[in-house]
Structure 1
Amino acid sequence: MAKQKLVTVLGPTAVGKTKTSIELAKALNGEVISGDSMQIYRGMDIGTAKVTESEMEGIPHHLIDIKDPTESFSAAEFQKLATNLVHDINERGKVPIIAGGTGLYVKAVTHQYSFSEVKEDEGYRKQLEKIADEEGPVVFHARLKEIDPISYESIHPNNIRRVIRALEVYHVTGEPVSASKDSQPENSPYQLVNVGLTMDRETLYNRINQRVDLMLSEGLLNEARILYEHGVKDCQSIQAIGYKEIYRFIEGKVTYEDAVEELKQNSRRYAKRQLTWFRHQMDIDWFDMTENREEKIRKILHSVAGKLADN
């Protein structure tokens, strides 16, 4: 039985994944599945650089605006929804293209990760939330170092929700959450083509800084203020870069200038982490988009079309 087709467009923030995925979809009769963990939230458009209707150029996009910002979302939930979409798009004779920078979400689909059904301990989790609030992210994150050094290295201190979950899993099972990753499948069940976009670091960082300036000019502060005033505060969604920094300004903790600088710095650091993750975790065909972007997109189209036709 022939494998179903699946294309991914991966890379750091601001590298040009949206435009490239749309050009691929136009050429391949495809549809785009957002592989971004924050574009699922309604009302969080500017800060997540959500694709606009005009930018879509008539290409169907999926897994955007499917949750309220007060709701939680997980890689396992993304896997289920995206896997169903991949199947449906293939069944209609089209090519599914996952575009995004949330590596774990994407690989959960491309390699069909098996997420362990670890029972929860709500009482213990509430205790951890209180401790995290008292200790601060860096000190709290250090609790992982002895019990789960792999998760300690892979989870950013600011991702409090994942730190809490790792500690909770160890508390419930006695095993580190990272232990289950060793048994994950190495091969994809799909006819998979992974496209990676990269560029010169200085150029990328300049694009990130310019994107932040554009977001602010388009109304990011007002978007964040509306969320804040509607009580969207202690939620998974507000851990997103772009909102937590602006919230610090809204709450009077930093000046506007400092919040903007934090946002740019955090975005640049995130881009660096994304590149590191993709280079170590996935087999990707990389394309340097520093110059001649239109020509590079044509090369990508030719490469992907050829690989899909080979099987």
Structure 2
Amino acid sequence: MRTITIIAGPTAVGKTKFAIEAAKVLDGEIVSCDSMQLYKYMDIGSAKPTSEEMAQVKHHLVDIIDPSQPFSVAQYQTMAKNAINEIFEKSKIPIISGGTGLYVNSLIYDMDFGGGNVDTQLRSDLLKEAEEKGTSELYNRLVRLDPDAAQRIHPNNTKKLIRALEAAISGQKIKDFKNCTEKCKDYDINFIILTRNRDELYDRINKRVDLLVESGLFEEVKALLNRGLTEQDISMKGIGYKEVIASLRGDCSKDDSIALIKKNTRHFAKRQITWFKRYNEATWLNISDYISDDEALGELIRWLKNKYKFTAKATDRII
């Protein structure tokens, strides 16, 4: 069976560098697994790979959607699988890179998003809330709207929770939904989750936010607003964008908005790590355990070469 590699992890951990180097060594192409980097014109706030980085390795699902348009997990699943098949047809290796857990789920599990009339804006809003705030607020809302459905659904079952909320909000009767635990049979998966010690990761987050601001984050948000986007657009609810909008509106100072971006990003990274801990099949690589990022990268490359049966042997340290 054909094999894909997923390189996931929290924001600012270093996924872009590791994925690009892995793709170069393995003769692969990268499929983005990031819910913000797929939007056009949102380069800085999403920490999108630079043009120089994307010139090194072909990237898929970056800069593909206008930020005024909603985008669902179902759409991502379809487009990502199409990109994966396209890469396989070139006899290359697909490298999935990103930190959006729901997107990862859509590739690992045999998720059927169903048909029928779907309010894509509502679903996008709920998915974004689940991604950024976790599922507890969504679950509490379901308890208020449909306590019977809430009793049947685990608070961490994101798919069922969102489908139940869609039904409750629209007034439709909810059906029984199957747990998404059956693995996708389309391909085998090498699954790596990058992490760092908390203090190091948080320091990288703080420094990256400062770099984003220096690179023109506030100017980027102004340009997006001039394009007609508003805080009601799902794309503008992402971390970094909503805080800048609040500052531009006069709700807080620029310095306060920057501090809030750092805080919200740190909290988001913590939730990402919690999410990724559910994947028992994944191998974790703590970059902080190595003398340098390059040493950790070398360990990842050796491990992947072994998985793909290249001549180099992997050490046991990564396992």
TM-score bin (small chain): 0.7 to 0.9
Displacement of 1:112: 3.4
The answer as to whether partners of 2:20 and 2:56 remain within 8 angstroms in 1 is: no
Among 1, 5, 8, the alignment partner of 1:7 is 5
Once the two structures are overlaid, the 10-residue window that deviates more, 106-115 or 268-277, is: 106-115
The separation in 2 between residues aligned to 1:230 and 1:151, in whole angstroms, is 41
The separation in 2 between residues aligned to 1:210 and 1:188, in whole angstroms, is 41
The answer as to whether partners of 1:41 and 1:69 remain within 8 angstroms in 2 is: yes
1:304 aligns with 2:304: yes
Matched with 1:204 is: 201
SS at 2:239 equivalent: coil
SS at 2:228 equivalent: coil
- 2:275 is aligned with what amino acid? W
Matched with 1:232 is: 229
Displacement of 1:142: 3.2
The answer as to whether partners of 1:120 and 1:172 remain within 8 angstroms in 2 is: no
The separation in 1 between residues aligned to 2:17 and 2:254, in whole angstroms, is 31
The answer as to whether partners of 2:195 and 2:287 remain within 8 angstroms in 1 is: yes
Percent of aligned pairs sharing the same letter: 37
Among 277, 283, 300, the alignment partner of 1:279 is 277
Matched with 1:295 is: 295
Deviations 1:189-234 (A, max 9, x none): 3121011100100000000000000000000000011112222111
Matched with 1:159 is: none
SS at 1:42 equivalent: coil
Displacement of 1:293: 1.1
The separation in 1 between residues aligned to 2:244 and 2:180, in whole angstroms, is 40
Among 73, 86, 89, the alignment partner of 1:88 is 86
Write the mapping of 1:93-104 to structure 2, written as runs, cut at 5 A: 93-104=91-102
| Structure 1 residues 31 and 201: alpha-carbon distance in aligned structure 2, compared to 1, 3 A threshold | same
- 2:115 is aligned with what amino acid? E
The answer as to whether partners of 1:5 and 1:90 remain within 8 angstroms in 2 is: no
Of structures 1 and 2, the one with the larger relative CO (CA 8 A, separation 6+) is 1
User: TM-score, length-normalised on structure 2?
Assistant: 0.83
Instruction: Provide structure 1 residue ranges, at least 5 long, that are not aligned to the other structure.
Output: 130-137, 156-161
Instruction: Provide structure 2 residue ranges, at least 5 long, that are not aligned to the other structure.
Output: 127-135, 311-319
- 1:275 is aligned with what amino acid? I
The separation in 2 between residues aligned to 1:288 and 1:121, in whole angstroms, is 40
Displacement of 1:116: 2.3
The answer as to whether partners of 2:31 and 2:97 remain within 8 angstroms in 1 is: yes
1:175 aligns with 2:174: yes
Matched with 1:250 is: 248
The answer as to whether partners of 2:110 and 2:180 remain within 8 angstroms in 1 is: no
Displacement of 1:120: 3.5
Among 16, 22, 47, the alignment partner of 1:49 is 47
Q: How many residues get paired?
A: 290
- 1:216 is aligned with what amino acid? V
Please provide the CA RMSD for this pair: 2.8
- 2:309 is aligned with what amino acid? A
Displacement of 1:69: 0.6
The separation in 2 between residues aligned to 1:112 and 1:45, in whole angstroms, is 31
User: TM-score, length-normalised on structure 1?
Assistant: 0.85
Matched with 1:61 is: 59
- 2:49 is aligned with what amino acid? V
- 1:197 is aligned with what amino acid? L
| Structure 1 residues 192 and 63: alpha-carbon distance in aligned structure 2, compared to 1, 3 A threshold | same
| Structure 1 residues 110 and 199: alpha-carbon distance in aligned structure 2, compared to 1, 3 A threshold | same
Moved over 4 A (4+): 138-141, 149-155, 162-166
| Structure 1 residues 281 and 249: alpha-carbon distance in aligned structure 2, compared to 1, 3 A threshold | same
Displacement of 1:22: 0.3
Displacement of 1:140: 7.9
| Structure 1 residues 151 and 68: alpha-carbon distance in aligned structure 2, compared to 1, 3 A threshold | farther
Among 4, 15, 18, the alignment partner of 1:17 is 15
Among 112, 115, 122, the alignment partner of 1:114 is 112
